[in-house]
Structure 1
Amino acid sequence: MGFPGTWMTESESVVYRVVPKCACSTIGQIMFYSDHGSFFDGDIHDATTGLHKWALEASQPKIERAVRARQTYAFTCVRNPYTRILSSFFDKICGIQRNGRRYRGNLVPLLVQKYGVEVGGDDGKQEFDQIASFRRFLLFARDTIRWKKPMEPDIHWSAMAGHVSTFIVNGGRYNHILFTEDFNAGMQTVLENITVAHPVDLAQIPRFNESEGHGPKRAHPVEAYFDDLSMHLMWEIYKRDFQLFRYDFDNPGRKLPKGPVDLDEVHAKLGD
């Protein structure tokens, strides 16, 4: 299986396991900048040079060697499951993507037809009941994750623990897991533990939010979207995410985790 979703600087200073919807665009650009002194011109997910990626065949042996030797600092980044799934809904389901089309072609029509989800019309800009539509989408997300119906789960709403675990199961070990909600502090820890060709001042780094502006703005506070049933579904889908990454399941309005990640626990529980 190797190391899907893993990126590494060309200088091999650091290895990063991508978790979708968890600041991955900004992290990729910081890694690119630390080697080259400039940002990639475009979406870092489209870069095929300047950064090693598991998706690029020529990069695979280099990434595999670095990860298995455990000499290269390795990290990943996680996010509150409540805000992550909301972000996926507004960006991927309600939003028009960079190519001018809906995400994954027939996905949105399927959601409209089978689950009664509204997405703000053809352009995603019309008024609609965000709360009711989100809760219907959450039911769909649960069905894809639990039963792989009506389709396989998408990487943007499959559990973070699943993404994080492939790296461990195949022989890697994380040195650090940072929180999207406390990004600068967590990323500073990474930078202090690696050698970079070009110093990175996190206070000056722009946020590369490639999903910004794709969909409608969230009209309500996070907790308004989650009633008892929604929270029950969240626990069913993301129980390990809440537990391992210390996020507060009982209070959807609390963005910050309750404490630091216990790396030993993560490796023990996700290394099966």
Structure 2
Amino acid sequence: MGFPGTWMTESESVVYRVVPKCACSTIGQILYYSDHGEFFDGDIHDATAGLHKWGIETSRDLITANVQGHKSYAFTCVRNPYTRLLSSFFDKICGIQRNGKRYRGNLVPLLMQKYGVEVGGDDGQDDFDQVRSFRRFLLFVRDTIRWRRPMEPDIHWSATSGHVATFIANGGTYDKIFWTEEFNDGMQDVLDHIETPHKVDLATIPRFNESESHGPKRAHPVEEYFDDLSMHLIYEIYKRDFDLFKYDFENPSNKRPIAEIDLEEVHAKLGD
């Protein structure tokens, strides 16, 4: 299986396990800058040079040797399941993607037909009942994750712990897992532990939110999207994420963690 979703600087200063919807565009650009002194011109996910990626065939042996030998500092970044799923809905389901098309072709028509989801018209900008549509999308997410129908779960809403786990299962060890909600502190801690060809000043780094303009703006506070049933479904799907990464299931309005992440616990429970 190897190390899907793993990126490494060409200098091998650091290894990063990408988790979709968890500041991955900004982190990728920081890694690129730390090696080259400039940002990648475009979406870092499209870069095919300047950064080792598991998806690039020639990078795989280098990544495998580094990770299994734990030669470099390794980290990842996680996010509150409530806000991560909302972000996936507005970006991937309601939004037009950077290629000018809907995400995954027939996915949105399927959701509209089978689940009654509305997405704000052809361009995602019309008014619609966001709460009702999101809750219907949540049923679809549950179906994909629990029964793998009508399709396999997508990387943007499959559990964060599942992404994090593949790195451990194949011989990787994390030195740091930090929260998107406390990005500056977490990313600075990573930078403090590594030597890079170019110094990174986090205070001057822009945020590369590649999905920001894709879809409609969220019209309500987070908690309004989640009634008792929605919270039950979220916990059923993302229980390990809440437990391991110390997020507050009881209060959707609290996006901040409520305890420190225990790296030993993460490795023990996700390394099975």
Query: Which bracket does the TM-score occupy, shorter chain normalised?
Result: over 0.9
Structure 1 position 15 matched with structure 2 position 8: no
Structure-2 residue corresponding to 1:252: 252
Q: Distance in 1 between matches of 2:9 and 2:248?
A: 33
The alpha carbon displacement at 1:71 in A equals 2.0
Give the gaps of 5 or more residues in structure 2. Answer: none
Secondary structure class of the residue paired with 2:242:
helix
Q: Distance in 1 between matches of 2:96 and 2:192?
A: 38
Equivalent pairs: percent with the same residue? 77
Secondary structure class of the residue paired with 1:40:
coil
The alpha carbon displacement at 1:260 in A equals 1.7
Q: Distance in 1 between matches of 2:160 and 2:78?
A: 7
Structure-1 residue corresponding to 2:230: 230
Q: Distance in 2 between matches of 1:188 and 1:259?
A: 19
Q: Distance in 1 between matches of 2:258 and 2:232?
A: 20
Structure-1 residue corresponding to 2:131: 131
Structure-2 residue corresponding to 1:199: 199
Deviations 1:66-102 (A, max 9, x none): 0011120000000000000000000000000000000
Q: Distance in 2 between matches of 1:170 and 1:14?
A: 18
Q: Distance in 2 between matches of 1:71 and 1:32?
A: 19
AA aligned opposite 1:104: R
AA aligned opposite 1:46: D
Structure 1 position 71 matched with structure 2 position 71: yes
The alpha carbon displacement at 1:5 in A equals 0.2
Q: Distance in 2 between matches of 1:10 and 1:191?
A: 16
Deviations 1:29-80 (A, max 9, x none): 0000000000000000000000000000100000000001112000000000
Secondary structure class of the residue paired with 2:213:
coil
Secondary structure class of the residue paired with 1:268:
helix
Secondary structure class of the residue paired with 1:123:
coil
Structure 1 position 53 matched with structure 2 position 30: no
TM-score by length of 2: 1.00
Secondary structure class of the residue paired with 2:233:
helix
The alpha carbon displacement at 1:232 in A equals 0.5
The alpha carbon displacement at 1:122 in A equals 0.6
Give the gaps of 5 or more residues in structure 1. Answer: none
AA aligned opposite 2:160: M
The alpha carbon displacement at 1:148 in A equals 0.3
TM-score by length of 1: 1.00
Matches within 5 A, 1:78-157: 78-157=78-157
Secondary structure class of the residue paired with 2:75:
strand
Q: Distance in 1 between matches of 2:84 and 2:10?
A: 29
The alpha carbon displacement at 1:259 in A equals 1.8
AA aligned opposite 1:85: L
Structure 1 position 214 matched with structure 2 position 218: no
Secondary structure class of the residue paired with 1:141:
helix
AA aligned opposite 2:65: R
Q: Distance in 1 between matches of 2:6 and 2:114?
A: 35
Q: Distance in 1 between matches of 2:251 and 2:146?
A: 24
The alpha carbon displacement at 1:163 in A equals 0.2
Q: Distance in 2 between matches of 1:230 and 1:74?
A: 34
Deviations 1:127-161 (A, max 9, x none): 00000000000000000000000000000000000
Secondary structure class of the residue paired with 1:127:
coil
Q: Distance in 1 between matches of 2:69 and 2:170?
A: 12
Structure-2 residue corresponding to 1:177: 177
Q: Distance in 2 between matches of 1:197 and 1:11?
A: 8
Q: Distance in 1 between matches of 2:259 and 2:45?
A: 30
CA RMSD between the two structures: 0.4
Structure-2 residue corresponding to 1:26: 26
Secondary structure class of the residue paired with 1:31:
helix
- The total of aligned residue pairs comes to 272
Q: Distance in 1 between matches of 2:71 and 2:158?
A: 30
